[in-house]
Amino acid sequence: MPGGQPDGRRFGVRDGRRWDRPGAKSDIGARSGSDPSGGDPPGGDPLDPSSDYAAPDSSSSASEPGGHSRRPTRSLKMRAIDYLSRREYSRTELSRKLAPFVEEGDALDPLLDALEREGLLSDARFAESVMNRRSARMGSSRIVNELRQHRLDDTLVEAVASTLRDTERARAQAVWRKKFGQLPQSAADRAKQARFLAMRGFSHATISHILKGENDWSDE
C-alpha cells in the first residue's frame, strides 16, 4: 500500500487489531442510505466543512418572503391590559397611550368602555393612586391640578381635595421640617422657604402658619 493510501481493500477490527478483508464489500452505504460508491450523500457531508451540505432552515416557516421574520401583533386590548398591569391609568391617559396603535377596524372608545365595565380601568382608583403617591410631598392644589389635567369628573376631584385638606398642614409641616428644620432668620430666608412650599402646592395660609411657628393644626 504505497504512500499509505488504501488499495481498495476493506478493513476490519479483531481483538483490537485492524485486519484486511480483500475483496470484501462494505454494507455501510446500504445501511446509512448513502451512495454505495463511497461518495458523500446527496447534498454533501454534514460533518465535512469542505462539502456543499446545506442545513435546513428551521426559521423558514416563521419568515416572510425576503427573509423578514414575522412578529406577532398584539391586539389593542392586550396592549391596554399590559399598561394597566403596571399601574393605574385614567381613561384620558390610557386613550392617549393607545392612540398611536389604533389600526383599521379598531374602536378605541368601546374598548375603554369595556375595560371600565370589567373593572380593569377606573378613574377613581387612578385618583386615589395619585393622591397616595403625591400627598407626602405635594400640597392639595398641585395634586388637584394634576387630576384635572386627566379630565376626571369634578365630583371625584373634589372628593380628593376634601381628603387632602384634612391633612394639609401636617403634611406641609413634615415637608418643611425635612427641607429646612428651623424658622427663617431673615426676610430672605422666609422668602426662600415660602417659595419652596408654594412650588410644592401648599396654600398661602398653610405656609404662613408654618413660617410663624404656629403649631395649631386644627382645620382652617
How much is the average pLDDT of 194-198?
Answer: 97
Q: State the DSSP code for 85.
A: T
> pLDDT higher for 37 or 128?
128
pLDDT over 50 (residue 219): no
User: Among candidates 205, 149, 200, 150, which has minimal Cα distance to 175?
Assistant: 200
Query: All 3 cell numbers of residue 29?
Result: 452505504
Residue 43: predicted pLDDT: 54
pLDDT over 80 (residue 16): no
pLDDT over 60 (residue 83): yes
Residue 193 neighbours by CB under 8 Å, 6+ apart: 176, 179, 180, 184, 211
Mean of the per-residue pLDDT values for the chain? Answer: 79
Give the CATH number of domain 168-220: 1.10.10
Rounded to whole angstroms, the maximal C-alpha distance in the chain is: 115
User: Among candidates 156, 154, 87, which has minimal Cα distance to 120?
Assistant: 87
**For residue range 208-217, what is the model confidence (pLDDT) as tens digits?**
999 998 765 4
Residue 213: predicted pLDDT: 85
Among residues of the chain, what percentage have pLDDT more than 70? Answer: 64
At 12, phi and psi to the nearest 5? Answer: -135, 175
pLDDT band, very low/low/confident/very high, at 62 (cuts 50, 70, 90): very low
**For residue range 164-181, what is the model confidence (pLDDT) as tens digits?**
999 999 999 999 999 999
The residues facing 63 across adjacent strands are 69
Buried b (16+ CB within 10 A) or exposed e, 109-131: eebbeebeeeebbbbeebbbebb
- The Cα–Cα gap between 220 and 216 comes to 10
Task: Spell out the domain ranges in the chain.
Answer: 76-117, 123-166, 168-220
Query: All 3 cell numbers of residue 164?
Result: 387632602
Residue 70: predicted pLDDT: 53
Residue 168 neighbours by CB under 8 Å, 6+ apart: 139, 140, 202, 203, 206
pLDDT over 60 (residue 182): yes
**For residue range 93-147, what is the model confidence (pLDDT) as tens digits?**
999 999 999 998 889 999 999 999 999 999 999 999 999 999 999 999 999 999 9
